[in-house]
Amino acid sequence: MTSRLTIAIQKSGRLSKESLALLKACGVKFSINDARLIAHSTSHNIDLLRVRDDDIPGLVMDGVVDLGLVGENVLEEARLEREATAMNANFVALRSLEFGHCRLSLAVPKEAQERGLAQLNGARIATTYPRLLQRYLQQQQIAARSVVLTGSVEVAPRAGLADAVCDLVSTGATLEANGLVETDVVFRSQAQLIQTAELSDPNKLALINQLLPRVDGVQLAKE
């Protein structure tokens, strides 16, 4: 029996639609049953694993899946986290994908925006990405504490939980709606196609080599 290539994508969220669209544009056919974690391709020896985006880097680094489509923000945070805890953080970055563009930015309440980055010394900053935030703060020689929230980061200052936020931004509308002003870009991100580091199965490698030029074709058409 030939082995099946497993690809992890976000189940439901900002990357889901375009991840599926990319596979479809590459000629990989699926019929998705929303209740199911796994979808088998009807055109290739490929299985799709639909999970939370936060789980994708670990699944690839641990070799549980062969490929993953994930935002660089989530990927780099996971890599730093795993390095710090002596876990395997290896993967192969295959392609940057032309979707999921966003930036991780520092933002402060409107009334505090004139005081600049130095004001963050001693501040509490709410974020979902403590490692990316701390790396940036170290580079800027700022000593601030992070308050880790996995959601609703933008309401933390108003709720009295933090003095500032370090959150994902694409248009800035969410920040504005919460009375926050973007002051610094900490990290720029887009979706990435990544591969597990130790892949030796010749069938899987052949399939990846067949898919990559198609991915490149789709990316070129988008530019």
**Residues making contact with ligand ATP (CB under 6 A):** 10, 13-15, 52-54, 71, 73-74, 100, 102, 168, 170, 189
Name the minimum Å distance from CB 67 to ligand ATP.
17
Task: Name which of 205, 186, 91, 52 is nearest 131 in CA terms.
Answer: 186
Show the site string, 24-63: x = touches Zn ion by CB under 5 A, - = not.
-----------------------------xx---------
Name the minimum Å distance from CB 111 to ligand ATP.
24
Instruction: State which residue, 151 or 160, has the beta carbon closest to ligand ATP.
Output: 151
Instruction: State which residue, 58 or 100, has the beta carbon closest to ligand ATP.
Output: 100
Question: Which of ligand ATP, Zn ion, none has residue 168 at its interface (CB below 5 to 8 Å by kind)?
Answer: ligand ATP
Give, in order, the Cα–Cα distances in Å from 32 to each of 8, 68, 184. 14, 17, 40
Rounded to an integer, what distance in angstroms lies between the CA atom of residue 181 and that of residue 194? Answer: 33
Name the minimum Å distance from CB 156 to ligand ATP.
16
Instruction: State which residue, 53 or 163, has the beta carbon closest to Zn ion.
Output: 53
* Residue 150, amino acid: T
- The residues binding Zn ion (CB under 5 A) are 53-54
